[in-house]
Structure 1
Amino acid sequence: MMEDIAREGPLLQAWVYWMMVLNTASILFVFHRVEARWVLAAWLVNIVFMSFLYETYGYTRILGLSHILIWTPLLAYLWHRRGHFSAGTWTGRYFIVLGATILVSLIFDYVDLVRYFLGDQAA
């Protein structure tokens, strides 16, 4: 899958790498924050499920289904827990940036999934 992503434009590549780094960074907080444990768990499940989708359907718009099914509940959970972390801390800033990143990603993923089911099955 990374070979297909490498053929995309630099903005999409940067976005994918940003999400990878940001989700992996949850490791820095797993011993202190339950939210980080959920982020890491979602990230690992997402990797497995997206790999399955890629092997089954190839590099198509349906890959966004993985984010939709895993990150939509994660974003709702983080939103619900927002009162438990402060923007004045590194952890709080991390969750705010992560939540914003997930939200932007989900917007594209929902659009991609609708396009996929309407017949546009390209990458």
Structure 2
Amino acid sequence: MDMMQDIAREGPLLQSWVYWMIALNTAAILFVIHRVEARWVLAAWIANLFLMGFLYETYGYTRILGLSHIVLWTPLLVYLWRRRSHFDSASWGGRYLWLVSVTILVSLVFDYVDLVRYFLGDQAA
């Protein structure tokens, strides 16, 4: 069993959210030439793939998988927040970075809750 098969067993809302994040983070490729922030998004996304894979192989499909997002996306979100004055909402790159920032923030809320629940003994997916 691999992680995408485990995700495929989840409800449509969680599946949609995961596929949204995959598509949105991968879309950073479209902006890397002109936006340094997109380069950091892509770097965090690639690092996340490796760290999430390691966590999945080590712990299985459990709540600790959110640790990957916490470790990589918390500093990314802080960086993006500090750079927000450079996000021109009239440009595609600026809109993309706002959308990524909001998506990361929402994801991190769930990830922090999942990590606390994991360490309190709720180790389910």
Bin of the TM-score, shorter chain as denominator length:
over 0.9
Q: CA deviation at 1:85?
A: 1.9
1:104 equivalent in structure 2: 106
Which of 27, 31, 41 is the matching residue for 1:25? 27
- Which piece of structure 1 moves more, 54-63 or 77-86? 77-86
Q: 1:85 matched to which residue of 2?
A: 87
Instruction: Return the alpha-carbon distance in structure 2 between the equivalents of residues 55 and 117 of structure 1.
Output: 18
Distance 2:109 2:22 in 1: 18
- Work out the CA distance in 2 between the residues paired with 1:108 and 1:85: 25
Within the alignment, does 1:47 sit opposite 2:41 as a pair?
A: no
The alpha-carbon deviation at position 88 of structure 1 amounts to 1.1
Q: Displacement, 1:65? A: 0.1
Moved more, 1-10 or 85-94: 85-94
Mapping of residues 52-63 of structure 1, within 5 Å: 52-63=54-65
Does the 8 Å contact 2:87/2:98 carry over to 1? Answer: no
* In 2, Cα distance between equivalents of 1:88 and 1:8: 37
- RMSD between aligned residues: 0.4
Residue in 1 aligned with 2:122? 120
Choose from 2, 5, 12 the match for 2:4. Answer: 2
Q: Does 1:37 align with 2:7?
A: no
Q: C-alpha distance in 2, partners of 1:62/1:35?
A: 27
Distance 1:63 1:109 in 2: 8
TM-score where L is the length of structure 1: 0.99
Structure 1 vs Structure 2: percent identity of aligned residues?
76
Structure 1 SS opposite 2:102: helix
SS class of match (2:68): helix
What is aligned with 1:95? 97
Q: Which runs of 4+ in 1 moved over 2 A?
A: none
Distance 1:30 1:92 in 2: 12
